[in-house]
Amino acid sequence: MKTLHLSKFSINAIIIILLSTGSASGMIIAYNYFTTTHIISKERAVTIAMNSDDWTPEGLGNATIDAELLQAKLSNRVGLVINDTTMSPNSFPRMAPLPSLIFQENQLFWDITIKKHLRGMEYQEWSYVIDATNGTLMGSWSPHGYTHLNF
């Protein structure tokens, strides 16, 4: 009988330890999820830009697509280029001028540029600014001027 009592105690102790470990792990994961910034991927931002002007693979032709994640710094009216993998500036920070839109301090946004080669050194350029946290198209510019602005 004593061995039965000891094994019940051991099983109960193991169950309590496992439940405690699982609960602690769940709380750590939840804390990490709610305290870190979540952004849309570069691929999702490019898709949003392409869908906003109904780009097709045929329409893109020999165009190049560049995408940079920027963080708005209002004091200097610049965007700090952020590494989308580490979510921090590179060791030698680069800056880009902020588009003429309304930004909040430290707001993250994708700056998408599509350059379509015409002939020789000529090309046309389309630019898209997409909020990196919610995927909203904030503004876009075509060779003909503004095409979309959200304020």
Predicted pLDDT at 47: 94
Predicted pLDDT at 1: 47
Same structural domain, 32 and 49: no
Domain coverage including residue 134: 42-149
Predicted pLDDT at 110: 94
Q: What is the mean pLDDT of residues 17-35?
A: 81
Same structural domain, 119 and 49: yes
How many structural domains are present in the chain? 2
* Most confident option among 9-13, 79-83, 97-101, 130-134: 130-134
Same structural domain, 30 and 66: no
Pairing of strands 64-73, 78-83: antiparallel
Q: What is the pLDDT of residues 69-123, one digit of tens each?
A: 999 988 888 888 888 877 777 777 788 888 878 888 889 999 999 999 888 888 8
Residue 139 has pLDDT above 70, yes or no: yes
Same structural domain, 32 and 67: no
Same structural domain, 100 and 50: yes
Predicted pLDDT at 21: 87
Buried b (16+ CB within 10 A) or exposed e, 83-108: ebeeeeeeeeeeeeebbeeebeeebb
Same structural domain, 65 and 117: yes
> Residue 41 — very low, low, confident or very high, per pLDDT cuts 50/70/90?
very high
